[in-house]
Structure 1
Amino acid sequence: MSHLSADVLIVGAGGAGMYAAITAAGSGASVLLVDKGQVGRGGATIMAQMTVAVALGEEEPDSPSLHLEDTLRAGRGLCNEELAALVCEEGPTRIVEMDQWGVRWARENDHIKQEMAPGHSVKRCCYVDFLNTGPAVAATLRRKVGEIPEIRRVSNLAVIDILVRDARALGAVALNLVDGDLVTIQAKAIVLAAGGLTKIYARNSASANMGGEAYALALWAGAELIDMEFVQFFPIGHLAPRLVGMDPIMWDPFRYKLGGKLLNGQFDEFIDRYGSSDFGKYNATRDIAAYAILKEVEAGRGTPHGGAYLDFRHISEAELRSAFGPVIDRLLANGIDLTKMPVEVGPMAHYHMGGVRVDLNMQSRVEGLYAAGEAVGGANGANRLSGNAITEAFVFGARAGSAAAEKAKQTKFGWDETLTMVSRNQVEQLRRNAASGGTPPAHLQADLQTLMWENAGPFRSGERLAAALARIEEMQRHDLPDLCVGAERQFNLDLQDWFELRAMLATAEAVVRSALGRTESRGAHQREDFPIADYHLLKNQVVELKDWEFAARWVAPVRLNRSQARHA
């Protein structure tokens, strides 16, 4: 069993993790940056092809305070206003810094070009081009990380447990996915930057490696989670035809800018049946669009892949090319000619507003355990404003890396080998039970994804949520221990899938229990049995483990006073 040591361990090497590594090293810390995939090649950031919201004020007058107003409005009264203000205040610094590092933000008249996006009051969203914002950002951060000798990068290393003694994080245990060996890691501070939970849903728009591990690791370590019921479902994610190398949520700007028609499987417009009018305007809100599509499918009027058609055949090729030139060529390479055929779209899990409950330095209640990026909960409240995801990855990553490095300066290593025994015994037990012909973990993952989509998806009810919870508990107690992981040591994907499934189940339970507790509809959480927002529930739900049982409580949202808001 190998043993590694660093001042700061960062779990997850997407945008937030790489930014945390850069700032931690810049603050004088030795850094170990690990990822269960390839460092800098996974997560949500690299997949993002859209825009980054930041109040540069270069396209038209703007300010962090105005950005904050839009963010809080989107959050439906539940944002941690201090965290939200941090994103809006420090976002411009991070974007300019990325520009200096070589991200080629689109420019116009010698300034960074910014566009309008849903929910924003001014043109605020910058980008690289129509296809490559995320990949360009990830490439720049990879290059920057590679220039810093204090950052050691290790790919194919899946952290399976955080080691804690006396409410202080001491290190971690990880599984080497190449040779199957366990690796112990000693660290003075740990940053969880392993992304969100979209993989727990059958339909999702994000990276396949985002199974909620950051939330589960934090929960098991003794941290609190907040706002876990708020999963953002994008209403018109791409379903068919097959689309390679493009973001499945790319259709939003097409629809708003060009006027794409939403049609059911009978090629009829249908939004007007669900409390909105879309004829000639094509601006139905996301929640209504998602609800209408799913209800049409439920009524037997869906498309072959269980969604709706998005149709641009009434728009000329010249108009399409004028608005989205290079995208049109990429679509044609995928066999999609928008002048001749509609595409199928439908709701899919896209982002998670909840996560680890942290302070302004991104530290959880466990000393030395930090979170960054989508692993952080609270900043977005009940719904995230378009374009804020990459901004918060930069801001929270930088803040967590800096704070973790400062913590490391004040801390001595506190390694305790006995804390690794639970993880070691777990792996040994799995290997003793290894057999061929049994049910592999990937099958149960698929069952969980279907369960969450059908029972805890965009529109929920107490009955379906209770059924989901009962099945999740059954999976944890009975199914998980009996799964077959295979006897191989090298490249044993079953073993990786087993630990990933363990985390997915813990995270799914947190989502379902929180959704059951919120008996109202607010933002991304929609209850068909409680369709109205309840002002008595204008508060945040916090979950934790007590004696390994879930416990929940309500807390008042963190507010800025008026002088702080004006300063922001």
Structure 2
Amino acid sequence: MNPLQLNTDVLVIGSGAAGMMAAKAAANEGAKVVLVDKSLVGRGGATILAQMTVAVALGDAEEDNPDIHFEDTMKGSRGMADPDIVRAIVDRGPELILEVEGYGVKWARTPDGKHSQVVAPGHSRKRCVYVDILNTGGATSAGLRKAIWKDDSIERLKNIMITKLVVENGAVVGAVGFAMEQFQPVIIAANAVILATGGLTEIYERNSASANMTGDGFILAAEAGAELRDMEMVQFFPIAHLYPPLVGIDPIMWDPFRYKLGGRLLNGNHEEFMDKYNNEVAGNYTAARDQTTYAIFKEVEAGRGTPHGGAYLDFRMVPEAKLKEAFGPVIDILNKQGVDLTKDMVEVAPMAHFTMGGIRVNTSMETTVPGLFACGELIYGMHGANRLSGNAITETLVTGRIAAEVASKVGRKPASDRLQAELEQELKRLERLWYPREVDKDEVSMLSVKRELQKLMWEGAGPLRTEASLSRALDRLRELGERVEGVALAKQSYYALTLVEKIELIHMLKLSESIIIGALARRESRGAHVRLDYNQSYETAVSTKFQLDASRQWTMQEIPLPELKQPSKGDQ
């Protein structure tokens, strides 16, 4: 089959909120843009599922400015955020909130017309904007989707699996892959490539990710020669829904209601316990996510967990009228499934939620490989060892825009024969991967192996880690990798979904290995990385640097970080 061949100024890979913002911003700069996604354009990623808030120092609710937001974020990172990246993001957060408002995102307003802003754990000010009734991420994605659909300079391609970035003379010149429907080869030449494929939390058994967030962008970048940092730093959302089973409810929806209404966290003995771990006062919840996750697991470890291994979330003391006002239509969804919050408690427990490590970029979102940019959850630098609630979508919008502004100015590259040669090699590799031998049916279900991996990572490299658990997980991980590589799948004439599943699984296995290698090397507890056998933090914070060598094996180096005494912008 003849390949699909495209030539563009900017290629954006991934169409969640970061990718859509990058595509729109590049088009606004006058660039010709191709936006590709392995699923439906604008319908995947993490933002579309996000229900809570966006942290920006607008100052509508109380006196606030980016300097204070910067200081809160640096403090929350447990000494590991990159101050230059944090500064770049918080400075432009207010601007981007107003931009997407122009795309139709209706941020909640107070009666006097100001943006409604609330406080979230780790923030010292009421700076988090939101869209009413758990629709912040969905509304943001919808606004961006409408914006890119109206722009004729953005070519949108769905069901395209990009499998390799093409590098010539040390710079990225495009990408190759295939269209899933008929395994049609794809070649895209580009002056610049922006990766926006999201995080990797799908590798865990309990996770809040879209199913397509399998870490593809990290692998594409690393194979092109880019540097990754702190891959072991994965955030676990502390109070994700555990029991009873619910349909039509995002598992992480409880958080804003807990802070808004004073929902109590109780252990299996019906006792509040956060005061023992973070000196919280009942009804005034200030613990950051890493602290709450740790506290819940310590209660479970001590035999004080709930029947299903978590904690109770209790709203029974809140008046019914106030519950209905706060929960809106959600209260009816809960009631129809037998949950009456005036009488019933629910069980909650931590869940893998966000990738805090990632691709190393500078303040222009340039990776260490010329011509290659990254944005959104893919990047390293904003969060360190702990992400503050509300900072994710801020990062998504700002970094998508910055990447596009710079990428759109990359000079035109001469036509390259390298793309065609790389495509031919890549197709041979993919065919060997798909069916190393002819079989009538798949030798092994990739989805069953994926579930095995997810369980392995949750038990061995989840919220609480030890040398023994990590070492066992690494051994089992490598055994799984050897099994998967040699599996033959039945060739399909239409929709190469099993090949996609195998590629994704190989990416997940490789990234799981980086998480474990980093977690073994990091003999400390810091933020979301908890080593039960090393409960102290290093005096000097370190960052773990990952690169793939010529044999596709990880090299890892610990790099001491400078003390974070960055002066605020106003003092410089």
| Alignment TM class, shorter chain as reference | over 0.9
**What do residues 414-441 of structure 1 show as CA deviations (whole Å, max 9, x unaligned)?**
3412222342112221235353152121
Q: Is the 8 A contact 2:51 2:134 kept in 1?
A: yes
Match of 1:469 among 464, 474, 477: 474
Q: Is the 8 A contact 2:222 2:228 kept in 1?
A: yes
Asked if residue 420 in structure 1 is aligned to residue 413 in structure 2, the reply is no
Aligned AA (1:464): S
Q: Is the 8 A contact 1:544 1:551 kept in 2?
A: yes
Secondary structure of the structure 2 residue equivalent to 1:520: coil
Distance, in Å, in 2 between the alignment partners of 1:274 and 1:53 is: 26
Distance, in Å, in 2 between the alignment partners of 1:146 and 1:368 is: 26
Distance, in Å, in 2 between the alignment partners of 1:493 and 1:305 is: 35
1:345-364 mapped onto 2 (5 Å cutoff):
345-364=348-367
Match of 1:13 among 3, 11, 15: 15
1:3-82 mapped onto 2 (5 Å cutoff):
3-82=5-84
Q: Which residue of 1 aligns with 2:310?
A: 307
Distance 1:59 1:278, change over 3 A: closer
**What do residues 338-364 of structure 1 show as CA deviations (whole Å, max 9, x unaligned)?**
113222211000111111001111111
1:220-235 mapped onto 2 (5 Å cutoff):
220-235=223-238
Which range moved further: 358-367 or 275-284? Answer: 275-284
Deviation at 1:298, TM superposition (A): 4.4
1:502-541 mapped onto 2 (5 Å cutoff):
502-536=506-540, 538-541=541-544
Which range moved further: 131-140 or 276-285? Answer: 276-285
Q: Is the 8 A contact 2:174 2:193 kept in 1?
A: yes
Q: Is the 8 A contact 1:484 1:494 kept in 2?
A: no
Q: Is the 8 A contact 1:116 1:122 kept in 2?
A: yes
Secondary structure of the structure 1 residue equivalent to 2:409: helix
Distance 1:468 1:415, change over 3 A: farther
1:212-291 mapped onto 2 (5 Å cutoff):
212-265=215-268, 267=270, 269=272, 271=274, 285-291=288-294
**What do residues 443-470 of structure 1 show as CA deviations (whole Å, max 9, x unaligned)?**
1111111111111111111121122222
Which range moved further: 17-26 or 296-305? Answer: 296-305
Aligned AA (1:45): T
Secondary structure of the structure 1 residue equivalent to 2:309: coil
Distance, in Å, in 2 between the alignment partners of 1:415 and 1:564 is: 49
Match of 1:492 among 486, 489, 496: 496
**What do residues 117-176 of structure 1 show as CA deviations (whole Å, max 9, x unaligned)?**
111111100011122111111111000001111100011112122121232112212232
Q: Which residue of 2 aligns with 1:381?
A: 384
**What do residues 169-188 of structure 1 show as CA deviations (whole Å, max 9, x unaligned)?**
12212232222333222222
Q: Is the 8 A contact 2:356 2:383 kept in 1?
A: yes
Asked if residue 438 in structure 1 is aligned to residue 443 in structure 2, the reply is yes
Q: Is the 8 A contact 2:76 2:122 kept in 1?
A: yes
Match of 2:455 among 426, 450, 453: 450
Q: Which residue of 2 aligns with 1:401?
A: 404
Aligned AA (1:74): G
Secondary structure of the structure 1 residue equivalent to 2:531: coil
Q: Which residue of 1 aligns with 2:156?
A: 153
Q: Is the 8 A contact 2:109 2:116 kept in 1?
A: yes
Deviation at 1:413, TM superposition (A): 3.8
Distance 1:161 1:325, change over 3 A: same
Distance, in Å, in 2 between the alignment partners of 1:450 and 1:460 is: 14
Q: Is the 8 A contact 2:121 2:287 kept in 1?
A: no
**What do residues 272-309 of structure 1 show as CA deviations (whole Å, max 9, x unaligned)?**
67676666656555334323433444456544543232
Aligned AA (1:221): A
Distance, in Å, in 1 between the alignment partners of 2:402 and 2:561 is: 21
Aligned AA (2:378): A
Distance 1:164 1:505, change over 3 A: same
Aligned AA (1:179): Q
Deviation at 1:541, TM superposition (A): 1.5
Aligned AA (1:54): V
Q: Which residue of 1 aligns with 2:371?
A: 368
Q: Which residue of 2 aligns with 1:459?
A: 464
Aligned AA (1:309): Y
Distance, in Å, in 1 between the alignment partners of 2:217 and 2:565 is: 31
Distance, in Å, in 1 between the alignment partners of 2:9 and 2:448 is: 38
Over the aligned positions, Cα root-mean-square deviation in angstroms equals 2.2
Distance, in Å, in 2 between the alignment partners of 1:27 and 1:289 is: 43
Distance 1:81 1:282, change over 3 A: closer
Percent identity for Structure 1 against Structure 2: 47
Q: Is the 8 A contact 1:441 1:485 kept in 2?
A: no
Q: Is the 8 A contact 1:27 1:405 kept in 2?
A: yes
Distance 1:384 1:241, change over 3 A: same
Q: Which residue of 2 aligns with 1:175?
A: 178
Secondary structure of the structure 1 residue equivalent to 2:545: strand
Q: Which residue of 2 aligns with 1:93?
A: 95
Secondary structure of the structure 2 residue equivalent to 1:223: coil
Aligned AA (1:338): L
Q: Is the 8 A contact 2:234 2:357 kept in 1?
A: yes
Q: Is the 8 A contact 1:217 1:503 kept in 2?
A: no
User: If the length of structure 1 is used for normalisation, what is the TM-score?
Assistant: 0.94
Distance, in Å, in 1 between the alignment partners of 2:277 and 2:57 is: 35
Distance, in Å, in 2 between the alignment partners of 1:330 and 1:256 is: 21
Deviation at 1:257, TM superposition (A): 3.0
Distance, in Å, in 1 between the alignment partners of 2:450 and 2:571 is: 47
Matched pairs, number: 565
Q: Is the 8 A contact 1:455 1:467 kept in 2?
A: yes
Q: Gaps (5+ residues) in structure 2?
A: none
Distance, in Å, in 1 between the alignment partners of 2:380 and 2:219 is: 13
Aligned AA (2:26): A
